Amino acid sequence: MTFDVVTIFPDFFRSILEHGLLKRAVASGRAAIRLHDLRDYTDDRHRTVDDRPFGGGPGMVFKPEPIFRAVEALRSEEQDEDVRVILLSPQGHLLTQAAAEELSHAARMVLICGRYEGVDERVVEHLATDEISIGDFVLSGGELPAAILMEATIRLLPGVLGNEESRQQDSFAAPEVGSQDGRPGLLDCPHYTRPAEFRNWKVPEALLSGDHEQIRQWRRRRALEKTWRRRPELLTRVSLSADDRQWLESLEGKA
Ligand code: SAM
């Protein structure tokens, strides 16, 4: 999977590329991340990327020419390849786990990071194949959203996470063939580690029991409970057993 990131702040990404998952994925050759300075695609002495909005109003807007030039140059490098051109924007489709799963099958993505008031709408209409938002809030630039999109998709590539099972048990996980103990579509269950007692707070007995069925049931129920309390809308999309339904009804009885 190759990412080409178009930004006016390529240095913004240096530290995240020197740590953790992105560093490992790049070092192992599973992902390539190439940074491109939008100003390298300008044609004036001042390397201008923005201009005032037509119709007046505050702020500046990214001009279309440098962005089109950058993306077209990157696309022409490998003409056969199917390239997703993704504009990071608060007006885009939400980046969910399901959206990250879908993107993780793409071979190549160009990520356009906006700034200021955003980008000229002709980029949206005639260049981007996708417009993606990381949430219903507004940041000052597309660099953090681009980093988040890369991490969310790269961690789904086979072999990137040391432990594939942990991904199958994460919150929002898609149903996985072969997952013995997955809780697809739910929020993750609570986790505990040593010590078994900390400031009088004890780890739940079930987790110390060594009984696999008891542990499985405890985790499933806690995941259902968390999801029911915090994100009940997710429950409409998961398949529930008779035992799950009974447990949820018992919670409703207590509420
Ligand atoms: N005027 C724009 C609006 O209200 O929709 C906001 C522009 S924002 C200040 C500048 C840039 O930050 C955007 O062009 C986009 O690239 C990025 N950005 C901000 N919030 C974002 C979000 N929630 N998801 C993705 N990108 C975002």
Last residue of a domain, one of 154, 187, 210: 154
User: Per the domain annotation, does 69 fall within a domain?
Assistant: yes
User: Per the domain annotation, does 89 fall within a domain?
Assistant: yes
User: Per the domain annotation, does 163 fall within a domain?
Assistant: no
Number of domains in the chain: 2
Please report the pLDDT score of residue 178 as a whole number: 42
Check whether residue 136 and residue 185 sit in a common domain. Answer: no
User: Per the domain annotation, does 161 fall within a domain?
Assistant: no
Last residue of a domain, one of 96, 124, 154: 154
Instruction: Report the percent of the chain where pLDDT is more than 70.
Output: 97
In whole angstroms, give the CA distance from residue 125 to residue 107: 23
In whole angstroms, give the CA distance from residue 102 to residue 106: 8
Last residue of a domain, one of 94, 122, 154: 154
The whole domain housing 28 covers 2-154
* Mean pLDDT over the full length of the chain: 94
Residues annotated as part of the active site: 90, 117, 155, 170
User: Per the domain annotation, does 77 fall within a domain?
Assistant: yes
Please report the pLDDT score of residue 168 as a whole number: 79
Please report the pLDDT score of residue 163 as a whole number: 78
Task: Please tell me the least confidently modeled range out of 51-60, 131-140, 163-172.
Answer: 163-172
CA of 61 to the centre of ligand 1 (A): 12
Instruction: Report the percent of the chain where pLDDT is more than 90.
Output: 88
CA of 134 to the centre of ligand 1 (A): 9
Average pLDDT over every residue of 141-162: 96
Please report the pLDDT score of residue 104 as a whole number: 97
Q: What is the CATH number of the domain that holds 77?
A: 3.40.1280.10
Q: Give ∠ CA 39-42-44 in degrees, rounded to 5.
A: 115
Average pLDDT over every residue of 82-111: 97
Whether the pLDDT of residue 177 is over 50: the answer is no
User: Per the domain annotation, does 204 fall within a domain?
Assistant: yes
93 Cβ below 6 A of ligand 1: no
Q: Does pTM surpass 0.85?
A: yes
**8-state DSSP, 248:** H
Please report the pLDDT score of residue 171 as a whole number: 94
Check whether residue 91 and residue 182 sit in a common domain. Answer: no
67 Cβ below 6 A of ligand 1: no
